[in-house]
Structure 1
Amino acid sequence: MTDDGNKTAGQATQKQDWHAVNHEDLERRLSTGSAGLAETEAARRLAEYGFNRLAPPKRQGPLLRFVLQFHNILLYVMLGAALITALLGHWVDTAVLFGAVLINAIIGFIQEGKAEAALDSIRSLLSAHATVLRDGVRREIDAAELVPGDIVLLASGDRVPADLRLIEVKDLKVEEATLTGESMPASKTTDAVDLDASLGDRHGMAYSGTLVVYGQARGIVVATAGDTELGRINQMLSSIRNLSTPLLRQVDRFGRMLALVILAFCALTFLLGTGLRGLPAADMFMMVVALAASAIPEGLPALMTVTLALGVQRMARRNAIIRRLPAVETLGSVTVICSDKTGTLTRNEMTVQRVVCADQIFDVDGVGYAPQGNVSIAESVVDPAQYSVLNLAVRAGVLCNDGRLRQIDGQWHIEGDPTEGALLALGGKLGLTQDESNAAWPRQDSIPFESEHRFMATLHKDTEAQPWIFVKGAPERILDMCSQQLGHEGNQPLDADYWRRMATDIAARGWRLLAFACKQDAPSGKGLDFTDVESGYSMLALVGIIDPPREEAIQAVAECHRAGIQVKMITGDHAETAKAIGALLDIGVGKPAITGAELALMDDAALRRIVMEVDIFARASPEQKLRLVQALQEDGQVVAMTGDGVNDAPALKRADVGVAMGLKGTEVAKEASDMVLADDNFATIASAVREGRAVYDNLKKFILFMLPTNGGESLIVLTAILFGLTLPLTPVQVLWINMVTAGALGLALAFEPAERGIMQRRPRPPGEALLSGFFVWRVCLISVLMATGALGLFLWELEHGASLETARTMAVNAVVAAEMFYLINSRYILGSVLNREGLLGNRYVLLAIAACACLQVIYTYLPVMHDIFGSVGLTPEQWLKVLGAGLLVFVGAELEKRLIRNTRFASAAQR
């Protein structure tokens, strides 16, 4: 072979047009022949192209990956808090803070390592061995040694070892769902197809990583390693970086803003105290440090972790397995769900919906493979036993059938082709079981289905030993074999126009079509051959089959629509089938469906213009699924993407929440995802969205509880400094309040159940700040009420002759009491808690309050606490005053919520 010829072959392997190339051009471009490559040429090409393996991605070392986990503003704030507590000598607090930082970093390190496993899973799909022709001799070699131009032999059960252009096929069916999303095995031919044909329509190709389920074939290797469709997906996965979640982005902005506010407030307090009031700089420095330590939300990471972990547990009980913790909250902010069709929105169980005979049209209810359901005409249930043609047609479907329907642990399962399973289930609904039918009408011979002749035929003897030949197949092919049709009155002349109209009507509904015919005749020889089945048949029926939507998916889609979430169907199936299912699910009704071929003609700007207007995308390739997700994200949407195949992995990884199928999903899809559905059910996603919204609500409640607590303490100190008053709180007392209340009380809010009506809200805007105007108002109001109660009580006691220690002890207890009462207020952001559920509905809140009250009793009466914090015992009358200060906050918060509920700002505040 010349160098120019080598160069031409090398360039050709990079092209993606092999499906449109005929055999002669194929062999010329790859410089190969019917005997395959010579060993010397194969070795030369192996040196040129490299091994048929997917290259591992470049990865950061484990040490660098671990160090980068600390690059987070929230962790910086926590490290700052740890440093301050260390300066104050609070070594226990310092150890706790450093421990929390370390745990967060370890969790992030582990999760990042799991994400990289998606790429390893793709490489595991490659076949280990391949059968090739070299020098005209059949050999089995390591699949890694395949090169472009090799001739590969395929048989049932083989995994395709490289991308092949098929040159010989015999009854070949290939399971391509992992690449195309098509639920049925693809029948293969050697024919070239249009250049712009979608991946699922390239019938002359067999792709690396797919599985041969039936038949045999020969094909020429046209692409190996990274040039295969599988390799291109691997490259896409490698190039996609994980996006930050909305919550983490919000917390990052919140942490930066809070850090600036804390520093500014501390500087102002120090300057006012030393410059305006002349307080000792050392004392003011300690006070400023104490205020800073109390203001830093060190309880937020713990609360986030606990809240998200509880969400994970609740979702697991609903069959949603969370792989990345932040995905729990991200689900709550989803604005668009892009869902696969087969098995997620539908049952992945083919079901006969209609049987069209010459005289009647029968509708069949019941779904799945369970042989249970009624037969009706014009919505009136009928006795199928009264219709002989219907029974003969259904018998034909049961007898001309190689599938098996079995009941295992109460569930019906199909062994074989799903379409044949649907026919067996139909037979069961009419009382024609497979075993009984085969016993009564034993099979004598058969002609299996082949894509070239598009039908299957079987020879039987009935109960009177009379021969019958049944055929089933493509309607146009069966019609060509028929000269008459069987009606209620017996055989009639064939009305071909009637059958074509009925076939068009069924196809327009997106249903799969099969036709049945029969003749009562014996074969010319000992067994069936094609001369026996070419003509002379009576048309029996047309059957419409569909994979029906799940009932719970219909309800879940409606719930998502009520929640303001758009649901889009992105499927590898045909547009007509997708639209038919979409109509039943209320997805894309009255809107066009866009195919992958149409998407390929759109640039990114055009795609962004239409992506929110179209809800059904059919025959979509992996690149197109990824483009759709990116276009939605560029439009400002938070996207959840479902999928099960290798072709879905890039889009799953890019989506804000990737959702893989647990039952039929590939390991590649699972490793690229954030969540796995244990039941492959779309309704589980809707439940997870509800839990995600509840998680975000609880995080907001914690922040609304935490900030006024810190704000109240700071306002007490700042007010005292401004007005030249004795400080109501010492630095060590500020730290005590923060230690006892901020974490212990606030964590109880992580256990809050979802509020009523949570799925009737619109999704929160993706760019919404964690602190809205309403939040700022609430923080300021509660801070003022808390400071008023504690400072007022402190001044009152001093005015009436109490000691400074007593007044400060009452101020500390007043702040803590106010926080305990406000914890109850915080259970509902806007709703009133003045009911049994509001006051007693969360036992963790009650336990937290009881524990906090016990700690305050210890603080007040234990002698060692007197020495450390300067506290003293209080009288019952003084405790009543403390409770009064706490009730001031409770009553004020409830009045404010009632006012907000009655204004036009309520909906905005609820978000």
Structure 2
Amino acid sequence: MSETATTHSTPSAPPHATWHALTPEDVQRQLQAEPGGLSADEVRQRLALHGPNRLAPPKRRGPLLRFVLQFHNILLYVMMGAAAITAALGHWVDTGVLLAAVVVNAIIGFIQEGKAEAALEAIRSMLSPHATVLRDGRRLDIDASDLVPGDRVLLAPGDRVPADLRLVEVRDLRVEEAALTGESLPVDKDTRAVAADAPLGDRAGMAYSGTLVVYGQATGIVVATGSRTELGQINRMLAGIRNISTPLLRQIDRFGRILALTILALAAATFVLGVLWREHAPAEMFMMVVALAASAIPEGLPAIMTVTLALGVQRMARRHAIVRRLPAVETLGSVTVICSDKTGTLTRNEMTVQRVVCAELDVNVSGVGYEPVGDFNIGPHVVDANRHPSLSLALRAGVICNDAQLRDDNGVWQVVGDPTEGALLVVGQKSGFTQHIGSAEWPRLDSIPFESQHRFMATWNRDADGQSWIFVKGAPERLLDICSFECTDAGDRPIEVDTWRRMANDTAARGLRLLGLACKRAEPAGAQLGFSDVEHGFMMLGLVGIVDPPREEAIRAVQECQRAGIRVKMITGDHVETARAIGAQLGIGVGKPAITGAEVALMDDAALRRVAMEVDVFARASPEHKLRLVQALQEDGQVVAMTGDGVNDAPALKRADVGVAMGNKGTDAAKEASDVVLANDNFATIAAAVREGRAVYDNLKKFILFMLPTNGGEALVVIAAIMFELTLPLTPAQILWINMVTSSTLGLALAFEPAEDGIMRRRPRPPGQPLLSGFFVWRVVLVSVLMMSGALGLFLWELSHGSSLETARTMAVNAIVVAEMFYLLNSRHVLASVLNREGLTGNRVALLAIAACVPLQLAFTHLPVMQGIFGSTDLHLAEWLKVLGAGLMVFFIAEFEKFVIRRLPITAKLAVV
């Protein structure tokens, strides 16, 4: 769409022109772009027609509305409901704490939404602020926003392309397009027209807005500005994508709604039965119903959820994953599919020579990256490269015919210059050859720089004996045209072209980028090296296979994710052969076809949904293709994590359930659109973050499994009192005290639980799975009944033996709290026994929480101030022993239930959790 000009009455932008498929002459004619540039009058007319060359800012909600909408959240509704109840009961401290938590949550959401909107600002900042143009026959430096279609723009190294250009004159131009296309290396440009359906990365005659010129010069005609550029199209896509809720928030939302309806129905039924059946006074029944509602609402859930997620953020930060949105912590743990970029995430982003083919040698090179450490292997044997003259000369040629530099920066090896040339320096240094430009040994006398139309680079050098040599490196098919001989360890011989072509095809099939190396001993015909000197008579030295190798830790991380039931898919802008080969090395898409972006574009949504699940490697993918793939997977019910680093990844990052951007080489647009930023750009960090996310979800479920029986036990006590016309065993104030103590001290400890063994051997939980399974409901009912039995039993026992109502109620409160202390230890493992050292002492925070809860209960029972507030009274040692017995009853019955569950067949056991 960016290359399809808007239809209007002037010829400056013809309808439906696919600029990359037109010749420069056609473009000049259709846009009326004269060689001397547009006139001032024509510029004014076109600027009025097309508007300035800038991306329009999105429509935004005002800050007040954004802040108010932060309260539209089921978790905050629960907290505000709890605050209303505590206010109705006159507990203003509790009300203040709950309302403060509501406001803090809203402020956090307000800030995070503001950061998300910065993604659009990051894309707009990529537009070049200045441009060099020809107008009225003069060269001018203008503000890039003043560019119009038909302007003639001049490009030089270091320039950011200011608009979408059709190149009409090119001299050795290379453009860094990784942010837009995902191509791992700078792209050579020329003026040739290509097919209309050519993917973005193959449009050599185009230079796109926001990309960077790294080498050479060019002149281009502006064909699209502002929102009509490729960058503008991505901006529109990003602005049109709405943030989706996370699986956890959807579960909590469902859970909260069901719980709220249950509480309301229970309260209404209790009120009606109490007034109509038991003939209690409406005012008395209203206070009982308030107590019932207070006992059932999980006031601590939002706070504990926030604390648990925040602890997950801290643990992920220690593993180099910076979380920008709290719910993303848990979302990572629930992903079923990870769509990953290739370059720098799964690979090292350091080009490495892996294969050198000479006339009689096929050599594999070990070692990865820019550190010059590795061996040369022929078959299973390590060889000395210098003992093979043909191999040694090929490596020497790659280092001499080279403009890059290899540097050791405090133990970190870096390449200055073209990454492919850097790979040749590294493999040369592995053999001990450290030649560089201007060296006294083999000095360079002249050179022909690489040009895309010639597809080779040549240098003229002189050896220590004063002999002249001409070295050439470039496209193998180009070098085969100028070579008459081939080099062997025994000397030169006539070249066998078919053998070299077969080896070139074999190397390319492995996903390696190919370079040919050749030389001849000769003087240039003139005083300088010219193209006529590079036409014939050369000796073929070898073929070099270069690749951006996979990270070793990424290979292990992919395997770990696959064992955890997570599908890993690679979506890259690179060539399909390279993507397929790297995928095979990583264990992604082995034995399956790779699909290109062009094939994706031809599929309807239904077909893409099928293909998205069946295929794991996607190459030459544009921003639209990536976005469609993420949407197709989500429509299939998958929870999708998307990784990326370029502006082309931003729409898919925003649309994914969790977007993961690269921190080192990622663009600002990608980081701002993401939920998580990897500080080390390493896929292995994602696998570690998935593990942390699963642990966070486990801990949230453990807390809910711990918290609900407290509420359930209290509710059952109140219901039993109403149904059997008993004196209320717990007052509303005492109920709130129990909830505060158990949630604020005991429940918090479960947020610190370490990940359980085997957490990454589980299958991902189904996205539609409810927060509470049938087994969890059973566990909540069982423990609730046990707590109710202990508390109500002691209450009735004390009353029947002549104790005061205050003593009986104090016993009931302490019975529930002590049972919660013991049940906290039960809750550390859902099924595993805690009757061992690890189970009882493995979480120090749990022990500290119990230790903190004990003095709180002693204060509740024995401090006169607390007795005055809550109606409690002193207990004697015998009474405390009864309370302890009620707690131990809950602990041992819960452990026995686990023992029975563990003895079930494995299929039944899996069903319950």
User: So what's the TM-score if we normalise by structure 1?
Assistant: 0.98
Output the CA distance in 2 between the equivalents of 1:21 and 1:646: 27
What's the counterpart of residue 290 of structure 1? 291
TM-aligned CA deviation for residue 587 of structure 1 = 0.3
What's the counterpart of residue 567 of structure 2? 566
CA contact (8 A) 1:660 1:675 kept: yes
What's the counterpart of residue 145 of structure 1? 146
SS in 1 for 2:8: helix
Output the CA distance in 2 between the equivalents of 1:27 and 1:692: 56
TM-aligned CA deviation for residue 360 of structure 1 = 1.1
SS in 1 for 2:613: coil
Output the CA distance in 1 between the equivalents of 2:122 and 2:11: 28
What's the counterpart of residue 797 of structure 2? 796
Change (3 A) 1:241 1:16: farther
Is 2:33 the counterpart of 1:38?
Answer: no
TM-aligned CA deviation for residue 72 of structure 1 = 1.4
Change (3 A) 1:907 1:128: farther
What's the counterpart of residue 375 of structure 1? 376
Output the CA distance in 2 between the equivalents of 1:46 and 1:112: 34
TM-aligned CA deviation for residue 568 of structure 1 = 0.3
Amino acid at match of 1:272: L
Is 2:252 the counterpart of 1:251?
Answer: yes
TM-aligned CA deviation for residue 81 of structure 1 = 1.3
Amino acid at match of 2:633: L
Change (3 A) 1:599 1:837: same
SS in 2 for 1:745: helix
Output the CA distance in 2 between the equivalents of 1:853 and 1:516: 79
Is 2:686 the counterpart of 1:685?
Answer: yes
CA contact (8 A) 1:14 1:223 kept: no
CA contact (8 A) 1:399 1:438 kept: no
CA contact (8 A) 1:709 1:742 kept: no
CA contact (8 A) 2:861 2:872 kept: yes
Output the CA distance in 1 between the equivalents of 2:440 and 2:788: 89
Unaligned 5+ segments in structure 2 are none
TM-aligned CA deviation for residue 294 of structure 1 = 2.7
Output the CA distance in 2 between the equivalents of 1:86 and 1:734: 14
The alignment's C-alpha RMSD in Å is 1.6
What's the counterpart of residue 324 of structure 2? 323
What's the counterpart of residue 354 of structure 1? 355
What's the counterpart of residue 896 of structure 1? 897
CA contact (8 A) 2:82 2:294 kept: yes
Output the CA distance in 1 between the equivalents of 2:146 and 2:871: 80
SS in 2 for 1:892: helix
Output the CA distance in 1 between the equivalents of 2:344 and 2:409: 19
TM-aligned CA deviation for residue 12 of structure 1 = 3.8
What's the counterpart of residue 656 of structure 1? 657
What's the counterpart of residue 676 of structure 1? 677
Output the CA distance in 2 between the equivalents of 1:518 and 1:39: 53
Output the CA distance in 2 between the equivalents of 1:50 and 1:185: 31
CA contact (8 A) 1:470 1:517 kept: yes
What's the counterpart of residue 771 of structure 2? 770
Output the CA distance in 2 between the equivalents of 1:870 and 1:33: 94
TM-aligned CA deviation for residue 13 of structure 1 = 5.9
What's the counterpart of residue 207 of structure 1? 208
TM-aligned CA deviation for residue 905 of structure 1 = 5.5
TM-aligned CA deviation for residue 58 of structure 1 = 0.3
Output the CA distance in 1 between the equivalents of 2:85 and 2:489: 93
CA contact (8 A) 2:7 2:15 kept: no
What's the counterpart of residue 780 of structure 2? 779
What's the counterpart of residue 580 of structure 2? 579
Is 2:621 the counterpart of 1:620?
Answer: yes
Amino acid at match of 1:864: V
CA contact (8 A) 2:437 2:443 kept: no
CA contact (8 A) 2:775 2:912 kept: no
CA contact (8 A) 1:13 1:223 kept: no
CA contact (8 A) 2:486 2:492 kept: yes
TM-aligned CA deviation for residue 91 of structure 1 = 0.4
Change (3 A) 1:227 1:539: same
Output the CA distance in 2 between the equivalents of 1:46 and 1:805: 85
Output the CA distance in 2 between the equivalents of 1:823 and 1:14: 71
Which range moves more in the overlay, 338-347 or 766-775? 766-775
Output the CA distance in 1 between the equivalents of 2:17 and 2:735: 69
Alignment of 1:106-117 (within 5 A): 106-117=107-118
TM-aligned CA deviation for residue 436 of structure 1 = 9.9
Amino acid at match of 2:543: L
What's the counterpart of residue 862 of structure 1? 863
Task: Deviation per CA, 1:838-883: give whole Å up to 9, x if none.
Answer: 1111111111111111111111111222222222222212211111
Change (3 A) 1:650 1:10: farther
SS in 2 for 1:485: strand
Runs of 4+ in 1 over 6 A off after TM superposition: none
Give the share of equivalent positions with the same residue, in percent: 72
CA contact (8 A) 1:9 1:29 kept: no
Output the CA distance in 2 between the equivalents of 1:218 and 1:906: 71
SS in 2 for 1:222: strand
Output the CA distance in 1 between the equivalents of 2:805 and 2:393: 100
What's the counterpart of residue 127 of structure 1? 128
TM-aligned CA deviation for residue 399 of structure 1 = 0.6
Which range moves more in the overlay, 327-336 or 31-40? 31-40
CA contact (8 A) 1:395 1:437 kept: no
Task: Deviation per CA, 1:793-813: give whole Å up to 9, x if none.
Answer: 222223333332222211111
What's the counterpart of residue 390 of structure 1? 391
CA contact (8 A) 1:829 1:910 kept: no
SS in 1 for 2:61: coil
Task: Deviation per CA, 1:539-577: give whole Å up to 9, x if none.
Answer: 100111111100000000000000100000000000000
Change (3 A) 1:405 1:883: same
What's the counterpart of residue 884 of structure 2? 883
Amino acid at match of 2:713: G
Which range moves more in the overlay, 380-389 or 639-648? 380-389
Output the CA distance in 2 between the equivalents of 1:905 and 1:806: 48
TM-aligned CA deviation for residue 287 of structure 1 = 2.4
Change (3 A) 1:295 1:686: same
What's the counterpart of residue 610 of structure 1? 611
Alignment of 1:116-515 (within 5 A): 116-435=117-436, 438-515=439-516
Aligned residues: 908
Output the CA distance in 2 between the equivalents of 1:124 and 1:736: 54
Output the CA distance in 2 between the equivalents of 1:6 and 1:95: 61
Amino acid at match of 1:672: A
Task: Deviation per CA, 1:309-354: give whole Å up to 9, x if none.
Answer: 1111100110101111111111011000000001000000011111
Change (3 A) 1:382 1:437: farther
Alignment of 1:83-94 (within 5 A): 83-94=84-95
Task: Deviation per CA, 1:107-135: give whole Å up to 9, x if none.
Answer: 11110000000000111011111111112
Output the CA distance in 1 between the equivalents of 2:255 and 2:6: 63
Alignment of 1:593-608 (within 5 A): 593-608=594-609
What's the counterpart of residue 814 of structure 2? 813
What's the counterpart of residue 79 of structure 1? 80
Change (3 A) 1:433 1:756: same
SS in 2 for 1:363: strand
Output the CA distance in 2 between the equivalents of 1:894 and 1:528: 86
Output the CA distance in 2 between the equivalents of 1:317 and 1:656: 23
Output the CA distance in 2 between the equivalents of 1:845 and 1:274: 43
SS in 2 for 1:278: coil
What's the counterpart of residue 728 of structure 1? 729
CA contact (8 A) 2:12 2:31 kept: no
SS in 1 for 2:402: coil
Task: Deviation per CA, 1:9-58: give whole Å up to 9, x if none.
Answer: 56846646110001222122212221221111111100111000100000
Output the CA distance in 1 between the equivalents of 2:119 and 2:774: 42
Output the CA distance in 2 between the equivalents of 1:9 and 1:310: 61
CA contact (8 A) 1:351 1:547 kept: yes
Output the CA distance in 2 between the equivalents of 1:204 and 1:728: 83
CA contact (8 A) 1:448 1:457 kept: yes
Output the CA distance in 2 between the equivalents of 1:16 and 1:88: 72
Output the CA distance in 2 between the equivalents of 1:561 and 1:907: 23
Task: Deviation per CA, 1:570-629: give whole Å up to 9, x if none.
Answer: 000000000100111110011100001111111112111211000000001111110000
Is 2:727 the counterpart of 1:716?
Answer: no
Output the CA distance in 1 between the equivalents of 2:258 and 2:886: 31
Amino acid at match of 2:818: A
SS in 2 for 1:64: helix
Output the CA distance in 1 between the equivalents of 2:427 and 2:314: 41
Output the CA distance in 2 between the equivalents of 1:58 and 1:19: 33
